[in-house]
Structure 1
């Protein structure tokens, strides 16, 4: 499989070789930052048991909070598609933005201006130090793909990882169809 250049906005698909890693098993990560200092991303296909209203009771919201990764799991992060509504947003890629003015986000949520197609919240993030992610790519922990999704928030949480592996074909189809916990088989 040809290697795609590692840049922010790409998706990282967990290789079957890391199935024993509880943080990244069957993960798809949106790479939000990648530079000479390191990389940051958010796992986009692992919902937590929390909704936004659980963490911010002043905001009556049933937006699902996702497990962004194993770093700073006590902090809330967000990725969105509405930089015109959220000042100080950072561009990840075409139509995808990270962070911004959280007071504006709260106001938009209270006014029911933002929905699940506009914003996604994460507890924690996935982070790599300088050259760490490239080392993991070299040891076949991740597959880098272009993000070709019009709205990344529309993808299915349950089948997104499997769907990506099925596209790769060959032995990946076998892994895609393997049970999440083989001991239960």
Structure 2
């Protein structure tokens, strides 16, 4: 399966509240057992240097901890984008490839050298779906599955990422960007 690995889930207006409202999720894994991803547009107020000081220089601005999802929020995972997937130096120590140039970086090891990655984010928690659950949510219209750009993971303006991703889609979907966050404001 794995058809959606490396793609984005974009919350539709059907998800009106909660952690997934107007969220953009990068799918790190998707197979017959379920799916795993991180919400890439939910920075928290915690500065990364307060939580993992050694990783601050490796992280992409804004250097905040991000809310990766509602699962295991007491844990953290780092997601990085390789600068050059065929580098003579190889991938960073503790690298686990997930989708193309995107992979997980072991937070228990040393931070990668800046030249190895074009960006890195640290997420508190993750988003997870059991077998068939995500497919059902897509079928009911809660999510769009769209192409990702590795730059989406490390956007310097994560708060506008939902709007930016929707705007680059074709057809009438772009009109969603004109919808107010609170339908009562309409």
TM-score, normalised to structure 2's length? 0.79
Structure 2 residue 31 is matched with structure 1 residue 35: yes
- Which position in structure 1 is the counterpart of 2:104? 98
Structure 2 residue 55 is matched with structure 1 residue 53: no
Determine which of 14, 23, 29 is the counterpart of 2:11.
14
The 5 Å alignment of 1:57-96 reads 63-82=63-82, 84=90, 86-96=92-102
Is 2:5–2:29's contact at 8 Å kept on the other side of the alignment?
A: yes
TM-score, normalised to structure 1's length? 0.80
Unaligned runs of 5+ in 1: none
RMSD: 2.8
- State the Cα distance separating 1:157 from its structure 2 match: 1.0
Unaligned runs of 5+ in 2: none
Aligned residues, how many? Answer: 174
Cα distance in 2 for residues equivalent to 1:135 and 1:63: 35
Flag the 1:9–1:48 CA change in 2: closer, same or farther, 3 A: same
Cα distance in 2 for residues equivalent to 1:64 and 1:120: 8
- State the Cα distance separating 1:118 from its structure 2 match: 2.0
- Which position in structure 1 is the counterpart of 2:142? 141
Cα distance in 2 for residues equivalent to 1:173 and 1:85: 37
Is 1:29–1:44's contact at 8 Å kept on the other side of the alignment?
A: yes
